Structure 1
Amino acid sequence: MTKKELSPGVKSALELGPVLIYLAAYFWFKDRPVTFAGEEYSGIVVAMAIFVPLSILGLGVSYALTGTASRMAVFTVVMVMVFGGLTVWLNNETFAMMRPTVVYGFFAVVLGVGLYVLGRSYLQFLMGPVLPLTDEGWRLFTRNWIAFFVFMALFNEFVWRVLGETAWVWLDTVGQFLLTLVFLVTQAPVLMRHGLDEDKDRQG
């Protein structure tokens, strides 16, 4: 199957659409719990019941249009299915709130094992063709991502356990996007200092 690139608008709709609907559903049902088969479901459980199929649909449409799906996207959707499914099935929002901790923790462990045990950067394997860096650059960039994932896992635990459900929903939707954006901005010095000039390399 031929791989195709999605337009920015379609890509944003597929990635952000389910998240925004999930956020809207939570606030709509937050004070309107749903009763089904004699059992009451809170806003976050209902929102998760909507979010799970939308996430699967978004990944499926993306794959149908491009012929490919990143391992990270597939893993994330699988985690949404597992923890979202448990949230709805057991009617317990704790599983939904723990999902980001597991996802971030998993990424931190995988990158950490690759960098500190196997001596390689899995980020370089994934992003090398589009982000040329020196070996030292990949080491620093990977190390910083590990630290960020550990921070996000711990911060997620703090938010849902201490600040509560509504604060966690904002973190799970808008907050994690903004924090990731801030983190990427802070990585600019590393990328500029250790970036490779491919044109000069080819001329040399």
Structure 2
Amino acid sequence: MKLLLDFLPIVAFFATYKWGEGHKDAVAQWLTQHLGFMVNGGVVGASEAAVMLATLVVVAISLVQVVVMKLLRKPIDKMLWISLVVVVGLGALTLYFHSETFIKWKPTIIYAVMAGGLLISDIVMGKFVLRAAMQAHDLSVPDTVWRRLSWAWIAFFVGMGLLNLYVAYQYSTDTWVNFKMWGSMGLMLVFTLAQGLYLSRHMQAAEAAKERA
């Protein structure tokens, strides 16, 4: 369920943008008519219509996610609150200034927050949030392994944040949207699998050491 909530905004942004690209004039007209009061100058051009519509949809979905979880009395993860604040703030700037630059910074800011959070919790404070998130308190894995995994995730998040900015500024918006959907998710999947393999190797080594003892 949590995985679905995490990826729903990304999929929605991608699908809405692609649909909007095929209906630029109609989307621009609709946004101008219904949301012109929210944008600088009151008129949305066809060139920016798709990304503005996708941004609007992501903001709405993020708000709905929090409201639904509140109504269901489900615990809301801190990262969901942070993501909501970031997407609403950058989304508002994107809509008002007719510029996709703001929303393109959203992934980088989220990656930076996650990297900073891991650095403080796992490296500085030694809480090993990764171990808690994986519900792996009972695994026979030394703290040094969890520390290495934390550093690996920190490096991954920093790298992803920089890569996002590189694609955003060096390529077209359409390329960035494709990268956000397929590139980011693909790299995340590959890295997660590699982490699992690394962790399982150390688990096997720990179990073997126990048996020898």
Question: Do they superpose with TM above 0.5?
Answer: yes
Residue number in structure 1 paired with 2:114: 107
| 1:79 maps to which of 48, 65, 86 | 86
| 1:96 maps to which of 85, 103, 107 | 103
Question: Pairwise mapping of residues 1-204 of structure 1 onto structure 2 (< 5 A)?
Answer: 12=4, 14-30=5-21, 32-33=24-25, 34-35=28-29, 36=32, 37=36, 38-41=42-45, 42=48, 43-65=50-72, 67-129=74-136, 132=139, 133-195=141-203
Greater per-residue helix proportion: 2
C-alpha RMSD of matched pairs (Å): 2.9
Q: Runs of 5+ in structure 1 lacking a partner?
A: 1-5
Going from structure 1 to structure 2, the CA distance change for 1:131 and 1:75 (only over 3 Å counts) comes to farther
Structure ID, larger Rg? 2
TM-score (norm 1): 0.79
- Does the CA-based 8 Å contact 2:16-2:53 persist in structure 1? yes
For 2:44, the aligned partner's letter is E
The structural deviation recorded for 1:139 is: 0.5
Q: Runs of 5+ in structure 2 lacking a partner?
A: 37-41
TM-score (norm 2): 0.76
Rounded Cα–Cα distance in structure 2 between residues aligned with 1:130 and 1:53: 37
Rounded Cα–Cα distance in structure 1 between residues aligned with 2:142 and 2:71: 35
Going from structure 1 to structure 2, the CA distance change for 1:111 and 1:18 (only over 3 Å counts) comes to closer
